[in-house]
Structure 1
Amino acid sequence: MTAAARTRIVSAFTDAGVTGQLYATDIDTGASVAVGADPESPTASVHKLCVIAALYREAAHGRLDLRRPVDIPAEGRSPGATGLAVMRDAARLSLRDLAGLAVAVSDNTAADLLIDAIGLDTVNACMTGLGLTRTVAVQSMRELYATLREDAGGSPSALTDPAVVARLRALDPARTNRSTPREIAGLLAAIWRDEVCAGEYGEELRAVLGLQAWSHRLAAGFPFDDVRVSGKTGSLPTLRHEAGVVEYPDGGRYAVAVFTRAAATTVTLPAADAVIGRAARIAVDALRAAAV
């Protein structure tokens, strides 16, 4: 069953013009489907999952208050196309509301304010404590985007030039935030099993991870009113990722991470977005069929 699923997933990636990696696991049984699940990849905004997990773990251990307010000046915000980056006035938000923005609209400023609050060392210590030793943060979002500007010579249009894309540090897992599909799915499974934090903190963490507004990748593979998809996208030139949890009304719950790299450097590639949901659906269907 899973061997056939792997063949179909590889074919789907090929048809979409991407190189793809996938890991899907039944959160309760540990059964899994893997396609290239272990090579390290740049995580882009998927790494915000790690930041928010570490934030809630710190709160659960009494080391910070999620209601603590953060003053956000109008100037000096991290670059981005959504959220606080495009807002014009000073603001004040709690840490947990910043976490909500970091997931809901992938707000880079919100994510960096959380990193400022807890530090990358804390994020990495949380991952190591969960046994996710290949999931490593080395830079904030503002630092990541600074490398993009430098490598593109200050010209955003250069980010579609294949020669420029080939030299981007943000696409080199040795020089940017990195992980594997297996470990990111493992993090999500740990969150849903209350292994990151339990009780009200675990419940709130899962609720925050269910806020994402985008439905064109992972969620597109599960177009049902009674199936809940909680996910986090990540995007960089040629990279389109998403990781999330798919929950069925019968109690089945599956952590899935899909990482892709497109051959084309164009910004708009609907097939590359859609194959994330398609591959995830094939994997989850195989896991559900095997459990019957």
Structure 2
Amino acid sequence: MREANRGSWGGVPSQQAGMSGPGAWGSGGVRVDVTERIEAEFRSAGVTGFLHVMDMDTGREVAVRADDPVVLASVFKVPLLVTFHRQAADGVLDPAEPVTLRPPDRTAGPTGISAMQDEVRMSLRDLTLLMITVSDNAAADVVLDRVGRDAVNATAAALGLRDTVVEVSGRELHETLLEDAGAATFADVWTRLDEPGVEARLRALDPLRTSRSTPRDMTRLLSMIWRDEAAPPGGCAAMRRLFGLQVWPHRLSSGFPYDDVVVSGKTGTLPTLRNEVGAVEYPDGGRYAVAVFTRSLLPIAVLPQADAVIGSAARMAVESLRRP
């Protein structure tokens, strides 16, 4: 991995994107037809897409609705992880602090501790591993309770993420979905989406009423993690390791099926919403921050083309940035 542009981890990164003039070229010196092809890819997959891809070292970018507000879903775990490592560096918390999670106290979810039946005891640091690698909701909520929601939002502000706000925990998100849909289970929410007015009532799908950000904010945050600017170098290295261990290959990674290209990321999923943010690193040292958020026009839980377009759109953007 190329090490460049290291700066202070306490605030806004030192390097800003260089922009070229208008005309046949878009912002960051990227041809406008790249965004048109990405838009066509989104339409073909039946989604509305929001994308920002940035060369971490030159600032060149590809943007499609990159400044529109989007629902974070489980991507909120990224600023949460950053805040955890900043607090650990400041001595506010001990990453090795043991936590006991009893079954009745755990946030619902399909993976990790959320799906386990017996009492679990592990460190805060290991909980962060589960919340990133398998998007464990129970683990994330324990970390969020320990770190503090206000602290996460203060970190976002300190890092210049003006449009990033964590409003709800995983438990609160789940509860509002059931309440707004009038459903008994998460699966029931999907079955009710076809009913008139149900989707519009769901606060969890409205970026103005739930945890939110923009694709540009997320690539900014990822770039700071990869440049050791979001936290001290040891903390940033620990975060990069966790993103590299994420188990889901069907979104961002699907666009880069090459043995020598490293893809790291964090997904987010809610009814009709499929997201992933991450980093793509090439053997020649090129590294790119990627944020793709999508909203499906169809209320279908399994929609492979909506997952795959995250990878294909990201690949189009990265390839355009790699051309002279």
TM more than 0.5: yes
* Mapped partners of 2:310, 2:91: distance in 1: 37
Q: Which residue of structure 1 lines up, in the alignment, with residue 214 of structure 2?
A: 180
User: Given residue 289 of structure 2, which amino acid in structure 1 is its aligned partner?
Assistant: A
Q: Is 1:264 paired with 2:298?
A: yes
Q: 1:203: how far off?
A: 1.1
Structure 1, residues 168-202: CA drift from partner, whole Å, max 9, x if none? Answer: 11011111000000001111011111111122222
Q: Is 1:136 paired with 2:170?
A: no
* Mapped partners of 1:279, 1:166: distance in 2: 27
Q: Where do 4+ consecutive residues of structure 1 move more than 4 Å?
A: none
* Mapped partners of 1:23, 1:251: distance in 2: 20
Aligned-residue sequence identity (percent) comes to 53
Q: Is 1:254 paired with 2:285?
A: no
Contact 2:218 2:277 in 1 (8 A): yes
Contact 1:169 1:176 in 2 (8 A): yes
Q: 1:34: how far off?
A: 0.2
Structure 1 residue runs without a partner (length 5+): none
- 1:86 maps to which of 115, 123, 132: 115
- 1:31 maps to which of 48, 55, 60: 60
Q: Which residue of structure 1 lines up, in the alignment, with residue 8 of structure 2?
A: none
- 2:258 maps to which of 221, 224, 229: 224
Q: 1:158: how far off?
A: 3.8
Q: TM-score, normalised by structure 2?
A: 0.87
Q: Is 1:107 paired with 2:136?
A: yes
Contact 2:177 2:189 in 1 (8 A): no
| Mapping 1:1-292, distance limit 5 Å | 1-155=30-184, 156-160=187-191, 161-162=193-194, 163=196, 164-289=198-323, 292=324
Q: 1:2: how far off?
A: 3.1
* Mapped partners of 1:242, 1:234: distance in 2: 6
Structure 1, residues 10-45: CA drift from partner, whole Å, max 9, x if none? Answer: 000000000001000001111100001011011100
Structure 1, residues 216-267: CA drift from partner, whole Å, max 9, x if none? Answer: 0000000011111110110111100000000111111000000000000010
Aligned residue for 1:20, secondary structure, equals strand
Aligned residue for 2:258, secondary structure, equals coil
Aligned residue for 1:209, secondary structure, equals helix
Q: 1:74: how far off?
A: 2.0
Aligned residue for 2:104, secondary structure, equals coil
Contact 1:165 1:237 in 2 (8 A): no
* Mapped partners of 1:262, 1:166: distance in 2: 14
User: Given residue 276 of structure 2, which amino acid in structure 1 is its aligned partner?
Assistant: E
* Mapped partners of 2:204, 2:236: distance in 1: 31
Structure 1, residues 122-153: CA drift from partner, whole Å, max 9, x if none? Answer: 10011000000110001100000000110121
* Mapped partners of 2:319, 2:31: distance in 1: 10
User: Given residue 75 of structure 1, which amino acid in structure 2 is its aligned partner?
Assistant: P
Contact 1:152 1:159 in 2 (8 A): no
Contact 1:2 1:287 in 2 (8 A): no
Out of 90-99 and 58-67, give the one that drifted further: 58-67
Q: 1:65: how far off?
A: 1.4
Q: 1:166: how far off?
A: 2.4
* Mapped partners of 1:227, 1:17: distance in 2: 28
Contact 1:18 1:261 in 2 (8 A): yes
Q: TM-score, normalised by structure 1?
A: 0.97
**Aligned-residue CA RMSD (Å):** 1.0
Q: 1:159: how far off?
A: 2.6
Out of 258-267 and 161-170, give the one that drifted further: 161-170
* Mapped partners of 2:242, 2:268: distance in 1: 17
Q: 1:286: how far off?
A: 0.6
Contact 2:190 2:301 in 1 (8 A): no
Q: Highest Rg: 1 or 2? A: 2
Structure 2 residue runs without a partner (length 5+): 1-29
Aligned residue for 1:109, secondary structure, equals helix
- How many residue pairs get matched? 290
